[in-house]
Amino acid sequence: MSRKPIVAGNWKMHKNTNEGINFASSVQNKLLKVGNVTVIYAPPFTGLFQLKVSPPYHKSAQNCHWEEKGAFTGETSVSMIKACGAEYVIVGHSERRQYFGETDELVNKKISAIISSDLDPIFCIGETLSQRESGETASVLKKQICDGLNNIESLSSIIIAYEPVWAIGTGLTADAEQIEKAHSHIVNVVSELYKKINVRVLYGGSVNSNNADQLIKIPKVDGFLIGGASLDVESFSSIVQIVEDNEEKK
Ligand code: PGA
């Protein structure tokens, strides 16, 4: 896996199929040349199949079930996601943890299933405000990583999205020092578990076109997972452009 930065748009429960298709083509028309960034769209399941993309644009699901098939009403397996042409699956997003009971154990089952199908998880972790205030950030992140990757013996690359829960959809972003510290810690924890692993750490939490330039320059930030600002053509395109330009200058 390359070290190209990633800009991923998590559409959450927004955009029907046609809206998603129109959005992606508007972004592509705006950004005529994207060579240094991997752009990922994560539409709702209903929009996944018909959204046609080609590199540098890619598709991700927002969730999956860990079983291959079975009597699991309302669920979608990784092989079904793969058949839609998606290459990534977001897993462990804080909204899934908070509203849908996604525990570290379930995250682990999902990550195993994703990796077994040769897709890439975008593994989300992050502390709540009270955990940060009580000085537990490092231990919470470590536990989420170790439990999420439990029994996964070999791994050559992983994408982790560090999303402080208190920064998601709130307009608050973590500051540069908090982000650099968390990302370094994440890389260290993962590198202790696996030798020679390519870890990319995305930052997520109120990223927008005004703060992206500052955020992408923070050491160990390999791109973004974006919610709100990924829904608007202007702001999403401008974030991709900022990351593209930043990479070009390196
Ligand atoms: P936000 O969401 O950019 O709206 O804060 C980020 C996310 O939930 O991935």
Tokens, residue 164:
């402080």
Question: 206 CB under 6 A from ligand 1?
Answer: yes
- Using one digit for the tens of pLDDT, what is the confidence trace for 38-84? 999 999 999 999 999 999 999 999 999 999 999 999 999 999 999 99
From CA 155, how far away is CA 120, in angstroms rounded? 11
Please confirm, yes or no, whether 183 is among the known catalytic residues.
Answer: no
**What Cα–Cα distance (Å) separates residue 67 from each residue in 64, 91, 156?**
9, 15, 23
Can you tell me which atom of ligand 1 is nearest the CA of 169?
Answer: 5
Query: What is the model's pLDDT at position 2?
Result: 62
Q: Which of the residues in the chain have pLDDT under 50?
A: 1
Residue with tokens 């994408």: 159
Whether 113 and 78 have beta carbons less than 8 Å apart is answered as yes
Rounded Cα distance, 179 and 167, in Å:
11
93 catalytic residue (yes or no) = yes
**Rg for the chain, CA atoms, rounded:** 17
CA distance 217 to 181: 14
Q: Enter the tokens of residue 155.
A: 């791994």
The answer to whether 89 and 124 have CB atoms below 8 angstroms apart is no
Is residue 194 within 8 A of residue 216, CB to CB? The reply is no
pTM above 0.85, yes or no: yes
Q: What is the pLDDT of residue 116?
A: 95
Q: Which atom of ligand 1 is nearest to the CA of 90?
A: 9
CA atoms of 109 and 112, how far apart (whole Å) = 5
Pocket test for ligand 1, best of 122, 168, 210, 239 (most atoms within 8 A of CB): 168
> With a 6 A CB cut-off, is 235 part of the ligand 1 pocket?
no
Q: What is the pLDDT of residue 151?
A: 95
Please identify which of the residues 58, 65, 93, 185 carries the catalytic annotation: 93
The domains found in the chain, sorted by start residue, are: 6-248 (3.20.20.70)
Which atom of ligand 1 is closest in space to residue 226's alpha carbon? 3
Distance (Å) from CA 9 to ligand 1 centroid? 9
State whether the beta carbon of 228 lies less than 6 angstroms from ligand 1.
yes
